[in-house]
Structure 1
Amino acid sequence: MVRQCQGCQMQQKMPEKVQLHPWENARSNFERVHVDFVGPFQGHMFLVIVCARSKWAEIEDMGNCTSAEKTVNVLRTIFSRYGIPKQLVSDNGVQFTSDLFAQFMKNNGIFHIRTAVAKPSTNGLVERLNGTFKSRIRAMKFDKGDLNLKLANFLLTYHNSVHQSTQKSSAMMFMGRILRSKLDLLKPDTDGNVEKQRMKLATSESRNFREFKEGDSIIARDYRPTSTEKWLSGTFLSREGPLMYKIDIGNNQVWRRHVDQLRKSEMNNELPRRESSPLNMIPLNLSEMPVMTERNDPLLVTGNPEKMPSLNENKRSDQMLMERRYPLRERKPPNRFSY
């Protein structure tokens, strides 16, 4: 009888709410966005946009104008930053039901989903952000700065805050990193501390940097296994880098040595000169490159073998007999950059 009574049916309460039905999970950032208007709030209207996957939020101050034309312009600017979404969820506001907005959705290939009338929970993602936004702005009542400054501070904090559903911040989900904020000034800067320590060691007054000038008498460390002396006298020739030098050790031979392998000396006449081993030596003249004779000849000679004088004539110690260790090949000095 009650179900058939028209008066009784018109006085029924709302039915029991159905079980919550979640939205499908978005597979990529900005694939589905939820939009809504907030206001009037502190004399302004705000357009709120939330990414369904990363929970990244954008809040635009619309002033007192919420027309469909301005809404389209703001959304077009946001889409130019992050790309055009596949789906857009909104309520049934006049801006979202206008022909201009429908044409904008069609031209960009966006599927527009409108929630049920007077059912804000359907668009609960953006509705929940609306409440958080208004409560945080009210909490900044006694802070200095205008509304735009407070809005910027809120967005920076919100993007770095861990979201309950993802257990990650929206900045990490959307950009793959945490946004730097003033709170980072209280955290130890590992990379910065390492760089400062390196620069401190490099510029320490207690560390003496040895430098050589052209014509300085120098002794260079001798690393040849056949050498009987640790040091060999030479003369500064050129500088290849901040710490790398070329040293003339006589007989048209040059060594490359690090500054830690060189020392100044006034005893060049008393120290041994270059021996015959070609280890780490670079000829000054390319025409005097060491070349190999015929394949079965074990001699290492300089220049043209036919024009070379005998060892007894020039008495040069660098024309030693040595056993061949490497196959026949054309030997060239390396091309090095000059600083």
Structure 2
Amino acid sequence: MIGSIQNFNPRVDSWILYQEQLEQYFEINDIKDTEASKKRVAALISLIGQDTYKILRDLCTPKAPKDKTYEELCNHLKKHFSPTTCVFRERLEFYDAKQLEEETVNDWHVRIHNLSTNCDFGADLGNVLKDKFVCGMRKGPIRDRLCEEKPSKSLENLLEIALARETTIKADKDIENIARSCIPCNKVAREPQKAIPIPWNRPTRPWQRVHIDFLGPINNSHYLIMLDAYSKWPEIFKMNSITSAATISKIRETCARWGIPETLVSDNGTQLTSEEFSIFLKRNGIRHVTGPPYKPETNGTAENAVKSFKKGFKAALLDQRNRHVSTDTLVSRYLFWYRNSTHCQTNETPAKLMLGRHLHTTLNLMRPDTNRDTERQCNHKGRDSPTFEKGSIVWIRDYRKPNTKTWQEAKVIDILGPRNYTCELPDGQKWRRHVDQMRKRIEAPSTEDSKSETVQPANTNQEVPQRKMPGEPTMPSATPPPPEQTPSLEPRPNPIPVIPVRDRPKRSCNIPARYKD
């Protein structure tokens, strides 16, 4: 027997292809069916395998497979393993096919032929295969080369052109790979194109992640710059030295002001990677993040802060108006205005995100003060503040002897505000006092006045005279006397001028004990 053929595997093999191989096997070994013998039937049953034979036996029931012809057995197996296909579905799969990325021209040519098997294109098969071969090819120089050809060329000619172009491209790639694999060339090659930067995750609160970096020497000084990643709040320190101990001292100062950060991002400077610095961070629970060596873009937040401060600081040094201004003042001015300027990333000022408010600047003086007249708090515990008029006689606190609480008689000469007055002493001195440092002076009546006050006036319409305090201005009468009556001009025992009763609650005055004698 010439050649060999394996058993048919229903899970993998196609029965149509297997039948074609089987017929060629019969042809080369001259196996034919005759009236006396059925050699092809016997060979088919022997070669298809046990699993396929069981299926064939069930398909031939009630007859045995050996009692049927070779063509009948092949038809049974074809109907079972190759059911009738939908032509339009096969064509849809054919037209949707595209050449894969790593698929060669030959593989693509074979695949479209295989997809067209059940499409039933008939006489148009050649043109359809030619169109699909060109249009379904992936973008590249091969397809561009085929598009330059005339449509009258056959599929075989187009295949030759595509194979030639593919060979040229493969040769170019081989030469390029040889050049790229050159070790001396790779040692002196330039740096590759920079990758797209990945932004840091935004923190959820202020002073959670802090970026630090050093600037200098500039103007014979070094500066430590710290920037909060959440609010963009900067801290700048002038450094006499940039050792680990000096850096730790400044970081400890900021921790006392804003708290301990969770993460500290820096470069690989020796003072930031020393054992002393690592122990400090470990004891305070600070996670230290560093970038690759000689890659400052990793700590881009701090690098941008350094560039911004360097530019502004140099501009301030070159300004002739600052020639007599110290560098510390220039740094303070930069920090003040930077913290109160809107940041391009957060659209808020660092002060607003860090402190919850904007810093008060000289520009605020141009705005009207809407909070000048504020309402008095309702829950204020204290007396109702009395008011004094000009000329009122009062007692004011004397602070010439701080350890002795004394009061001096004075006269109000000026009203400075709702609770501030200027008072004049009998010797001419002028003191400024608050209403809490003043008491109203009330003079006790004399004995004769008290007796005269007990006598009821003859006319009930006449007002009761009251004594006037020294220096107190005369107040007009609340109710003028009737026109038919004239005030009495008789001299009174007390020369003190009489004023009418004021419209205020009346109260009884108790005579001090020293006047009762």
Query: Could you say which residue in structure 2 is the equivalent of 1:294?
Result: none
Provide closer, same or farther for how the CA distance between residues 11 and 170 of structure 1 changes in structure 2, counting only shifts above 3 A. Answer: same
Aligned length: 226
1:286-325 to structure 2, matched below 5 A, reads: none
Q: How does 1:101-140 map to 2 (within 5 A)?
A: 101-140=277-316
TM-score norm. by structure 2 comes to: 0.39
Higher strand fraction (1 or 2): 1
Residue number among 258, 267, 272 corresponding to 1:82 in the alignment:
258
CA offsets per residue over residues 301-334 of structure 1, 9 Å max, x none?
Answer: xxxxxxxxxxxxxxxxxxxxxxxxxxxxxxxxxx
1:199-218 aligned at under 5 Å gives the runs none
Deviation at 1:267, TM superposition (A): 7.4
What is the CA deviation profile of residues 232-259 of structure 1, one whole-angstrom value per residue up to 9, with x for unaligned ones?
x9999xxxxxxxxxxxxxxxxxxxxxxx
- Report what 1:181 is aligned to: 361
Q: 1:10 aligns with which of 183, 187, 201?
A: 187
Q: Which runs of 5+ in 1 are unaligned?
A: 204-210, 216-232, 237-262, 269-280, 285-339
Q: Which residue of 2 aligns with 1:165?
A: 345
Greater relative CO, 1 or 2 (CA 8 Å, sep 6+)? 1
Give the corresponding residue for 1:45.
222
Question: Which residue number in structure 2 is paired with residue 306 of structure 1?
Answer: none
Largest Rg, 1 or 2? 2
In structure 1, C-alpha distance between the alignment counterparts of 2:465 and 2:258, rounded to whole Å: 64
Specify the SS of the correspondent of 1:71. helix
Question: Structure 1 residues 98 and 235, CA, compared in 2 at 3 Å: closer, same or farther?
Answer: farther
Q: Give 2:289's aligned amino acid.
A: I
TM-score (norm 1): 0.58
Decide which structure has greater helix share. Answer: 2
Report the secondary structure of 2:371's partner residue.
helix
- Identity %, equivalent residues: 32
Q: Measure the CA separation in 1 of the matches of 2:222 and 2:260.
A: 24
For 1:191 and 1:15, the matched residues in 2 are separated by: 61
| From 57, 71, 74, the counterpart of 2:234 | 57
Q: Is the 8 A contact 1:136 1:154 kept in 2?
A: yes
The amino acid across from 1:11 in the alignment is V
Write the distance in 2 (CA, Å) between the matches of 1:33 and 1:92. Answer: 15
* CA gap 1:264/1:113 in 2 versus in 1, 3 angstroms: farther
Is the alpha carbon distance of 1:3 and 1:67 closer, same or farther for their aligned partners in structure 2, counting shifts above 3 Å?
Answer: same
Could you list the per-position Cα deviations for residues 143-165 of structure 1 after superposition, in whole angstroms to 9, with x for gaps in the alignment?
13110000000000000010000
For residue 265 of structure 2, give the secondary structure of its aligned residue in structure 1.
strand
Closer/same/farther in 2, CA of residues 52 and 283 from structure 1, 3 Å limit: same
* Secondary structure class of the residue paired with 1:95: helix
Match of 1:154 in 2: 334
SS in 1 for 2:264: strand
SS in 1 for 2:216: strand
| Structure 2, unpaired ranges of 5+ | 1-177, 375-414, 420-439, 445-462, 467-475, 482-504, 509-517
Contact 1:2 1:9 in 2 (8 A): no
* Structure 1 residues 102 and 214, CA gap change in structure 2 (3 angstroms): same
